[in-house]
Amino acid sequence: MENTTFKKKYTAIPLTELEQSAFCQTTQPKSETLEVEFTVGVRWQSLPITYMKLPPKEIEEQIRTKRAILGKEILILGHHYQRDEIIQFADITGDSFKLAQHAANNTDAKVIIFCGVHFMAETAAALAQSNQKVILPNMTAGCSMSDMAKPEDVLDCWNSLKEVLGPNSITPITYMNSAASIKALCGENNGYVCTSSNAGKVMEKAFGQTDKVLFLPDQHLGRNTAKTLGIPLEKMIVWNPFKDFGGNSLEAIKESKVILWKGHCSVHTRFNIDQISNARSTYPDINILVHPECTMEVVDSADYVGSTEYIRKMVEDAPGGSIWGIGTEISMVNRLSKANPNKTVFCLDPIVCPCSTMYRIHPAYLLWVIDNLLEGIIVNAIDLESSIARNSKIALDRMLSIK
C-alpha cells in the first residue's frame, strides 16, 4: 500500500444539484410557453423558435393529432415524476423498474420516447432490441444524484477497493440512477443494478456472493436497505470520492460490510422529521409514506416506506377517508391527490419543488420529437458504445431475473 499514489481532487458540486431549486414555489407550477420557461435559471436544450412560442394548448392538440399518425411505431414511456402535461401522452407510466421492464419486453415499437431523465433513457437503450431507437426529448434532463458519481471517480474507487480487499471480495451494486458506464462496471464485475423496488432483494443476492457490497450512488437508499437486512450501522462506511480511500482508514474498509457512495437525491433529502411531526400534530390519524431515498431519520419516522410504484399502490388501495402525508416528488403527489378525491393526500414539504431535471421535459420537446419522426428524422437518439451497452445489459438482466 505504501506505493499507492493519488490524483489531487477538488470537491465539485454538479450543476444539476445547483439547479435543483429552480422551479420551487409555493403553488404548483403550470406549463408556460417554452420561451417563458427558458427564463428559469437552468440549462435547456435549444429548439427552433416556432416551438418556443407555441401556447401549451396548441402543443397538446398537435401532439394528440400527430402521435395518432405514428400509432404503434412509437412507445412513449413516462416516469411518475413527469409533469401532468407529459403524463397524459404516456402509453405506460411507472417507476424506473417498471419502465425498464417494459423497455426490455417491448418488441413492436420502432422508437421508444423516454419522458424521464438521461440515465433512464440509457437503460432503455441498453435493454431495447437492436432495431429500436430510444429518444430523450430534452438532453439536458439529467440527474443530480447520477452526476455525483462520475465514472472516473467510481473506477478509482473500485480499483482502490480491489487493492485493499483483494479480488472477488466485494460485489458492486448501482442504483438505476447512474451512468451506463457505471452499470457496465457492475456488469463486468459480477454486480447488479437495482431500483428502489428491488434494492433489498438485489442486496441479499449480492451478499450471497461476497461478504461486502459497494452501493452506488445513493447513500441513503443503500443505508436504509442494508439496515432492513440487519446490517449494523457501524458496519457501513461512506466513500467520499474527493478523499484518499474515500476518507476511510484501511481498517475501516476491511471491517465494513457495506460501502456507501457519498451521493443523494436532491428531492428526497428535502424531507425532514420536523415536517413529519407537524403533519402528525395536524392529523393524528395520518399515514406517513416516504421514499427510501429519504434520510434514515425520515425513513425511521415514517409508517410506510417504498418506491414510487409502492407509494402509488398504497394510496390507491387505501380506504376512503384515510389521510396520507407523502415524502416524494410533488408532481406525483399532486397527481395522486387528484386521482383519490375521497382521501386526503398531500406532500410533507410545504414548498413545491418539482424535480428540476424531470420538469425539463416540456411538451414542446415531445412535439418537436414527433414532428421529426413524421419527417423520418430521429433526434436526440441515445447511443451507447457497444461494450457499455453489453455490460450494462448484463447487470440489468441480473436485476430483472431476481424474483
Three-state SS annotation for 171-214? EEEEECCCCHHHHHHHHHCCCEEECCCCHHHHHHHHHCCCCCEE
- The predicted structure's pLDDT at residue 2: 39
Q: Is the dihedral of CA 238, 180, 209, 102 positive or negative?
A: positive
Among residues 161, 146, 83, 160, the alpha carbon closest in space to that of 115 is found at 83
Query: pLDDT of 172-222, one tens digit each?
Result: 999 999 999 999 999 999 999 999 999 999 999 999 999 999 999 999 999
Judged against a pLDDT cut of 90, whether residue 226 lies above it is answered with yes
Domain range annotation of the chain: 23-142+358-383, 146-265, 268-347
- The predicted structure's pLDDT at residue 41: 75
Architecture of domain 146-265: 3-Layer(aba) Sandwich (3.40)
Query: pLDDT of 350-392, one tens digit each?
Result: 876 677 778 889 999 999 999 999 999 999 999 999 999 999 9
Task: Report how far residue 222's alpha carbon sits from residue 194's, in angstroms, rounded to the nearest whole number.
Answer: 10
Which pTM was predicted? 0.89
Phi, psi angles (nearest 5°) of residue 326: -115, 135
Encode burial over 223-233: b for 16+ CB neighbours within 10 A, e otherwise. Answer: bbbbbeeebee
**Letter for the amino acid at 200?**
G
Select the more confidently predicted residue: 28 or 130: 130
Return the CATH fold of 23-142+358-383. Rossmann fold (3.40.50)
Query: pLDDT of 133-174, one tens digit each?
Result: 999 999 998 888 988 999 999 999 999 999 999 989 999 999
What is the CATH class of 268-347? alpha beta
Q: Do domains 23-142+358-383 and 146-265 have the same CATH topology?
A: yes
Among residues 372, 378, 366, the alpha carbon closest in space to that of 110 is found at 378
Encode burial over 350-367: b for 16+ CB neighbours within 10 A, e otherwise. Answer: eebbbbbbbbbbbbbbbb
